[in-house]
């Protein structure tokens, strides 16, 4: 019998693209998408979709039993910038949903779990250059705290109960398909949209704020890759460092100007600057590259080429009407 997969938070930025990727691999009938609302009609209409509140254990268990789920991707979370505005909501969503999934795996209702961590686990005392896998982690945001605590619980459930849980510390993710959901690295998506629609972007970070970034296709590939390898090849059960490229706002602006010479950027740092300043500039992900042969594909120039090409197509009708 084919493996049945449940994606929690399937309407989100990563969840939506991961859902399509997994349906292409395993078949739409074997990948059940879920979220708390019908937030992405492309996802809702492309296969089986269920309303599931991951904070509600009974709701989650009912869905898992209904479809005989054996693998869960827990992609629901309140991200860094939004989490600072609603700290208790972020703690409740991010932690309760994880405990619900881990407990269902412990009790043998499911066999395998993917849970995303983040570079937000690091903090201002972490080495910022090529941040190692094992290092100081003193996160200064609620989101980062939930991810650090979550990593420890994932490792604990693996050691104590044998739960096959796998995790990646995502950097900033760039995608043209869905708008970001309240993260500190959102500027790297917004800037492309503004370059196409009005030729100017006001950045909420300083021009030289270097952060680790990754194109969505690489993030999805890494997620699929780590879930497909044998359990013995997953040697880190807290969360793997994951990296592709690092750049600052002025560098992404420069790459856009190669395609749109008239593009202008200005800078007005806000509360997200303090968050970004507490994170690494770049990441050492040698364990992922060694243990399960991780390799990224997209450079900054590749990302800019793809983002501008796809967004021009996406906004073609709107731009034509305004001209």
What confidence tens digit (pLDDT) does each residue in 113-134 have?
999 999 999 999 999 999 999 9
1 pLDDT more than 70: no
What pLDDT, in 10s, does the model give residues 234-281? 999 999 999 999 999 999 999 999 999 999 999 999 999 999 999 999
Number of domains within the chain:
2
Same domain membership, residue 185 and residue 163 = no
Please tell me whether residues 197 and 272 are part of one structural domain: yes
287 and 140 in a common domain: no
Q: 186-216 burial, b for 16+ CB within 10 Å, e for fewer?
A: bbbbebbbbbbeeeebebbbeeebbbbbbbb
Q: Give the domain CATH number at 249.
A: 3.40.50.720
Helix (H/G/I), strand (E/B), else coil: 283: strand
143 is a catalytic site residue: yes
CA distance 259 to 61: 50
Describe the chain by its helix, strand, coil percentages, rounded to 5.
45, 15, 35
Beta bridge partners of 34: 8, 50
Burial of 58 (0-12, 13-18, 19+ CB in 10 A): exposed
Within a domain: 296:
yes
For residue 64, what are the domain limits? 5-169
Residue 59, domain member (yes or no) = yes
- Each residue of 162-175: pLDDT tens digit? 999 999 999 999 99
Last residue of a domain, one of 146, 169, 192: 169
Determine the pLDDT at residue 320: 54
Domain contains 157:
yes
Give the mean pLDDT of the chain: 94
Q: DSSP letter string over 286-301?
A: HHHHHHS-------HH
- CA-nearest of 127, 151, 173 to 278 is 127
What is the band of 323 on the pLDDT scale with cuts at 50, 70, 90? Answer: very low
pTM of the model: 0.93
Catalytic hit among 143, 170, 192, 240: 143
Whole-number percent of the chain with pLDDT over 70: 97
Residue 42 lies in a domain: yes
According to DSSP, the residues that pair with 6 across neighbouring strands are 32, 72
Owner of token pair 């969360």: 239
Query: Considering 136, 169, 202, which residue would you say is the last residue of a domain?
Result: 169
Residue 105: what pLDDT?
98
Out of 169, 203, 227, a domain closes at 169
With the C-alpha atoms ordered 68, 36, 10, 276, is the resulting torsion angle positive or negative? Answer: negative
Residue 232 within any structural domain of the chain: no
């Amino acid at each position: 019998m084919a493996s049945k997969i449940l994606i929690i938070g399937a309407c989100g930025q990563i969840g939506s693209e991961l859902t399509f990727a997994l349906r292409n691999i395993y078949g739409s009938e074997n990948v059940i998408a879920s979220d708390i609302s019908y937030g992405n009609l492309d996802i809702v209409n492309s296969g089986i979709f269920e309303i599931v509140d991951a904070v509600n254990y009974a709701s989650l268990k009912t869905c898992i039993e209904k479809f005989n789920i054996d693998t869960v991707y827990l992609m629901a979370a309140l991200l860094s910038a939004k989490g600072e505005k609603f700290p208790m909501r972020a703690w409740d969503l991010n932690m309760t949903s994880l405990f619900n999934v881990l407990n269902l795996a412990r009790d043998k209702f499911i066999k395998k779990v993917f849970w995303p961590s983040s570079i937000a686990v690091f903090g201002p005392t972490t080495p910022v250059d090529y941040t190692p896998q094992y290092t100081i982690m003193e996160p200064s945001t609620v989101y980062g705290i939930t991810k650090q605590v979550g990593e420890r619980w994932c490792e604990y459930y693996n050691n104590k109960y044998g739960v096959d849980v796998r995790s990646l510390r995502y950097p900033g993710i760039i995608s043209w398909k869905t708008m970001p959901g309240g993260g500190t690295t959102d500027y790297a998506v917004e800037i492309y949209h503004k370059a196409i629609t009005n030729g100017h972007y006001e950045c909420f970070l300083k021009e030289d704020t270097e952060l680790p970034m990754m194109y969505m296709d690489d993030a999805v590939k890494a997620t699929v890759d780590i879930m497909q390898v044998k359990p013995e090849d997953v040697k880190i059960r807290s969360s793997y460092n994951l990296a592709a490229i690092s750049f600052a706002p002025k560098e992404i602006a420069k790459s856009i100007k190669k395609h749109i010479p008239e593009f202008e950027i200005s800078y007005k740092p806000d509360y997200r600057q303090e968050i970004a300043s507490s994170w690494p500039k770049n990441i050492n992900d040698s364990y992922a590259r060694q243990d399960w042969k991780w390799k990224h594909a997209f450079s900054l120039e590749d990302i800019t080429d793809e983002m501008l090409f796809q967004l021009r197509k996406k906004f073609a009708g709107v731009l034509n009407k305004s001209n």
